[in-house]
Amino acid sequence: MELTIKKKYLKKTKVEKSWKDRIFDFSVYGIAILMMILIIYPLWFIIIASFSNPVDIANGNVWFWPKEWKIDGYIELLKQEMIWIGYRNTIIYTIVGTIIALFVNIPAGYALSRQDLFGRKWISIFYITPMFIGGGLIPTYLVVKNFGLIDTFWVLVLPFSVSAFNIIIARTFFKNSIPETLWEAAQIDGCGTIRYFFTMVLPLSKAILAVIGLWTAVGIWNSWFDAMIYISNENLQPLQLVLRRILIMNESLLGTASGELASELRRLSEMMKYAAIVVSTLPIMCLYPFLQKYFNQGIMVGSIKE
């Protein structure tokens, strides 16, 4: 009896959508699906192209599935010993660099969010100014060289670990997400500033930690220009620079070959280009879904509110 009454009540209270609302919903879902296709399809095409014959790709015969499966590009790419060295280096650079960046930028952002920080406005200007004015490549190189960091492991994780943009994002997050009453309650219980930061603030800041950590990790993983400028030792070069060297070497070999050999080298070179993209981006693509919810929450809170 009660169930029947509830059903009748729900039917009466249910509001049917007008045709305008339905058209609006259809338009929103349609645009969202279209945007998703525009983002996903290029990634999918790179994957299927890495398993396809370059001739089929050039002739437009590959759209959603390889016409014939080939793994020659992956075999030739993974045969290179230097690529495993590059992978090892990049993983170490990414892990160590992300930890250092979080250790440096998060406390700085929290300090700038405190109203009782002496000289807070001037310190903020000190951080913001380099976002608009840079010293340039040559002065930066000379500074790095004078510190003795050229051709060392630390050159890719120390000099560029401080990010004024990340500090400002973290400052805004702490300012709007951590209530001042929490600090007052901690003071009453005899909690100091450092203990408060590590035991209460950080556990409540998973979103901004994930955002800055992901940004830093992606930046270090994809970095090749800094390595090209500051590292000449092949045993210290990251994956992106190693892949660049392999592709340049293949292009140089194409210039010296002829006939069927040139055709085969060109085919392998094209397949290796797509395989190199997949190999270099796959770890980040696998990591992102686990941090997506923190990423969305942190970037919205840290960038919109003030």
pLDDT, the chain, mean = 78
For residue 254, the model assigns a pLDDT of 60
pLDDT bin (cut points 50, 70, 90) of residue 96 is: very high
For residue 304, the model assigns a pLDDT of 46
What span, in angstroms and rounded, lies between the C-alpha atoms of 293 and 290? 8
Q: Residue 6: pLDDT above 60?
A: no
Which of the two residues, 294 and 123, has the higher pLDDT score?
Answer: 123
- Collect all residues with Cβ–Cβ distance below 8 Å to 124 and sequence separation of at least 6: 112, 171
Instruction: Give the end-to-end CA distance of the chain in Å, rounded to a whole number.
Output: 54
State what percent of residues in the chain have pLDDT above 90: 4
Q: What is the pLDDT of residues 216-227, one digit of tens each?
A: 888 888 888 888
CB crowding 141-154: b at 16 or more within 10 Å, else e = eeebeeeebeebeb
State what percent of residues in the chain have pLDDT above 70: 82
Q: What's the whole-number mean pLDDT along residues 39-55?
A: 79
Position 19, amino acid: W
For residue 297, the model assigns a pLDDT of 59
For residue 305, the model assigns a pLDDT of 47
Which of the two residues, 55 and 161, has the higher pLDDT score?
Answer: 161
Residue in 213, 103, 113 with CA at minimum distance from that of residue 171: 113
Asked which of 12-16, 175-179, 275-279, 287-291 is least confident by mean pLDDT, the reply is 12-16
Domain spans in the chain, listed from the N-terminal domain onward: 11-70, 72-303
Which CATH fold would you assign to the domain 72-303?
MetI-like fold (1.10.3720)
